[in-house]
Amino acid sequence: MTYYHLFGPVPSRRLGVSLGVDLIPFKTCSYNCVYCECGPTTRLTVERREYVPTDEVIGELRAYLATSPSLDYLTFAGSGEPTLHTRIGEVIGMIKDEFPAYRVAVLTNGSLLTDPEVRHALLRADLVVPTLTSVSEEGFRKIHRAHPSITPGGVVDGIVRFREEYAGSLWLEVFIVPGVNDSDEEVVRIARTVERIRPDKVQLNTLDRPGAVVWVRPVAKERLRDIAAVIRTAPVEIIADLPSRETVGSFHLETSEFILSMIRRRPCTLDDLARITGLHRNEVGKYIQYLLEEGLIEEKIEERGIFFRPRHRGNTPVSNRSAR
Ligand code: SF4
């Protein structure tokens, strides 16, 4: 069976072995984040619709889960903001009714949690991970370039409301962009907002793969640790400290080697590699991240985008390198 709305499973830093469920066409979102690994948003919208046929998604999930795959999570994420899909709640409900052994996670930018219908749709998920970056108007606009109807105060209020109504796990992703939301004042404001939201955990994140714009760089790990120390009202996990390659069956060494061989032949963009391999961009991104961390490839910014090229001349296969 060909799966159009599922991708992976991918080894995820945050969620272990995760099967992606993509309900949104590329790249439809209420935000156009400067750090987005999917690249620039082409449809900036807050309109909720049945963007892909729900029956098709449910059919694919039934077929896939009938094989009893070993997964840590089924994760709603992918080519845009998953809560823009009007029937996300039904898909989550089907999984929980028919395959209750599987845990469901929703990665959301949180911007639509102001809508009671969206909050209701996510109630049966086991884990919801909204994003928080900046509560100042300027920082928020600069990072998210959001739909004009969205305000940082509204987003925070929506997440707070959701926390009150939702009994599952809520992890807050705090994404740090150097020069925008890493000042002491911004960090104190973020810490106060964390206190208001009361998440079960904060995941402190920074860029680890090329984003939508070239000026965004990762934050130094030491600074992330300083920021973590300021957030005292919830446990903080620094994502950059977690291994990207879990010891999981879903990490295919052959795929890594194939991608590396393509890059050795000629420098490629993420889109080139997704086209060549037939994999979802998010999935290719995980392998790229691994190859970057292993020092096997490097990125170079060109006019057409970010290209990956081999770092070492020679032919050290991926399999001869140490697995972490
Ligand atoms: S990072 Fe998420 S919220 Fe931001 S533009 Fe990309 S898909 Fe949308």
Tell me what pLDDT residue 62 has.
98
Crossing angle for the helix pair 184-197 and 221-230, to the nearest 10 degrees:
50
Q: Which option is the CATH number for 253-318: 3.40.50.1970, 3.40.50.150, 3.40.50.80, 1.10.10.10?
A: 1.10.10.10
Q: CB-based burial of residue 168 (10 Å sphere; 0-12 exposed, 13-18 middle, 19+ buried)?
A: middle
- For CATH 1.10.10.10, list the domain ranges present in the chain: 253-318
Q: Ligand 1 — pocket residues by CB below 6 A?
A: 29, 31-33, 36, 38, 41, 80-81, 109
Q: Of residues 122 and 321, which shows the higher confidence score?
A: 122
Alpha-carbon distances, residue 294 vs 245, 267, 288, 311, 323 (angstroms): 10, 17, 10, 10, 9
Whether 217 shows a pLDDT value over 70: the answer reads yes
Q: Is 6-240 assigned to CATH 3.40.50.620?
A: no
Tell me what pLDDT residue 98 has.
98
Task: Tell me the backbone φ, ψ of residue 16, rounded to 5 degrees.
Answer: 75, -135
Task: Give the Cα separation of 109 and 114 in Å (integer).
Answer: 12
Task: Tell me the backbone φ, ψ of residue 79, rounded to 5 degrees.
Answer: -90, 10
Handedness of CA 63, 66, 69, 72 (dihedral sign): positive
| Stated pTM of the model | 0.81
Nearest ligand 1 atom, CA 41 = 5
Task: Work out the number of other CB atoms within 10 angstroms of the CB of residue 90.
Answer: 15
From 36, 106, 213, give the residue whose CB has the most ligand 1 atoms within 8 Å, as the site to mutate: 36
**Which of the 8 DSSP states describes residue 49?**
B
> pLDDT-derived band of residue 134, with 50, 70 and 90 as boundaries?
very high
> pLDDT-derived band of residue 322, with 50, 70 and 90 as boundaries?
very low
* DSSP structure string for 161-215: HHHHH--SEEEEEEE--TTTS-SHHHHHHHHHHHHHH--SEEEEE---S--SSTT
Q: Of residues 289 and 54, which shows the higher confidence score?
A: 54
CA dihedral 240, 245, 248, 252 (to 10 degrees): 150
Q: Which of 34-48, 58-72, 186-200 has the lowest mean pLDDT?
A: 34-48
Task: Tell me the backbone φ, ψ of residue 284, rounded to 5 degrees.
Answer: -60, -40
CA dihedral 213, 215, 220, 224 (to 10 degrees): -60
> pLDDT-derived band of residue 30, with 50, 70 and 90 as boundaries?
very high
Tens digits of per-residue pLDDT, 222-261?
999 999 999 999 999 998 665 554 434 456 777 888 888 8
Nearest CA to ligand 1 atom 7: 80
**Which of the 8 DSSP states describes residue 293?**
H
Tens digits of per-residue pLDDT, 283-304?
888 888 888 888 889 888 776 6
Using DSSP's 3-state secondary structure scheme, residue 113 falls into: coil
- For CATH 3.20.20.70, list the domain ranges present in the chain: 6-240
Tell me what pLDDT residue 303 has.
67
